A = this chain, B = another copy of it.
Amino acid sequence: MAIPALDPFQVIADPSRRQILQLLSKNSLTINSLAENFDMSRPAVSKHIKILDSAGFISIQNIGRERYCILKQDGFNELQEWINYFDGFWLSKLQKLEALMNKKISEHQNK
């Protein structure tokens, strides 16, 4: 059976995970130093890290006993495509409106 890959939309639905990504956009950080930014326990953060990692939002580099978390683009791609699709939708709606207006204007001028 196919491995049920993590749904990136599900992954970023959690505010803590979004905040982790936010923090990592400033600096690469170890799991403990990340955890200092949160009220929740260290194992909870550790879980989020695992999820972000397996969904391709971050990569992890082991340095001795420390694990540095680094932002990674892969996880973002599907989200971006999704947003782009709807962007296109709004854009084409605008373009239709524009075309309609141009038509109205030229009709007006030809009176």
Q: Which residues of A contact B (CB under 8 A)?
A: 7, 9-10, 12-13, 15, 18, 21, 25, 71, 73, 76, 79-80, 82-83, 85-87, 89-90
Assembled-state Cα–Cα distance A79/B80 (Å): 10
In the complex, what's the smallest C-beta–C-beta distance from A27 to chain B, in angstroms? 12
B82-A80 in contact (CB<8A): no
Give the residue of B9, B21, B76, B86 whose beta carbon is less than 8 angstroms from that of A13.
B9
Assembled-state Cα–Cα distance A21/B85 (Å): 11
B-chain residues with CB within 8 Å of residue A76 when the two chains form the complex: 83, 86, 90
B-chain residues with CB within 8 Å of residue A90 when the two chains form the complex: 73, 76
A10-B13, A25-B85 are known; give 9 further A-B pairs, CB within 8 A: A7-B15, A9-B13, A13-B13, A21-B86, A73-B90, A76-B90, A79-B79, A79-B83, A83-B83
